[in-house]
Amino acid sequence: MRSAFAAAIFYLFGVFIYLAFVQYKDFEVGKIEDQARQLAPNYTNALRLKDQVRVLQDQLNLQFAALDSYKAVAEKIPDGLQLDGMSFNRGKTLSIFGTAPGDQVTKLNEFSEALRLATSNGQPIFKSVTVPPWVRRGSDVTWNITAELMKGEGD
């Protein structure tokens, strides 16, 4: 009987130690959860700021790509070709359109090749430049060129 009583007391002592250990671990988990709650707003703010920096950097890169494109067109357009307009589509492609005298059609190919080879800081500005299609309008031709920027949105 004494051994059964001693075993029961030993068992109760083991349960008491187990419950104390669980309570201690629960207390530690509570401290860690409190730290996580305190750090959560800072972490969220850091992620938001990181995304804002990325967006601003993309906008800055796109602005420089636009300026480089405008400069390349201004420098490379041959005499005799008239530029009627330019537009950026989704920050990835540049569309250029204009008119030229009917006898200046060969300069369109030279212009598109010059744009394809255009560089800024040693890097190509355009991934690809289309061979310009043209349509005869009386004695003149209308043309358009589409060039895909090397640095598109999100690069």
Task: Collect all residues with Cβ–Cβ distance below 8 Å to 107 and sequence separation of at least 6.
Answer: 78, 80, 81, 100
For residue 93, what are the β-bridge partners?
A: 89, 148
pLDDT, tens only, 78-89: 998 999 999 888
> Is pLDDT at 154 greater than 60 in this prediction?
no
Residues listed for the chain: 155
pLDDT, tens only, 95-131: 999 999 988 888 998 999 999 999 888 889 999 998 8
How far apart are alpha carbons 105 and 88 in whole angstroms?
A: 24
> Is pLDDT at 152 greater than 80 in this prediction?
no
Per DSSP, 131 falls in state P
How far apart are alpha carbons 95 and 82 in whole angstroms?
A: 14
For residue 90, the model assigns a pLDDT of 79
Residue 91: pLDDT band by 50, 70, 90 thresholds? confident
Q: Look-up: residue for tokens 């409190």?
A: 34
Provide the mean pLDDT of the chain.
Answer: 89
Secondary structure class of 42 (helix, strand, coil): helix
Q: Look-up: residue for tokens 């030279």?
A: 110
For residue 80, the model assigns a pLDDT of 87
Query: What average pLDDT score do residues 8-17 get?
Result: 93
88 φ, ψ to 5°? -100, 135
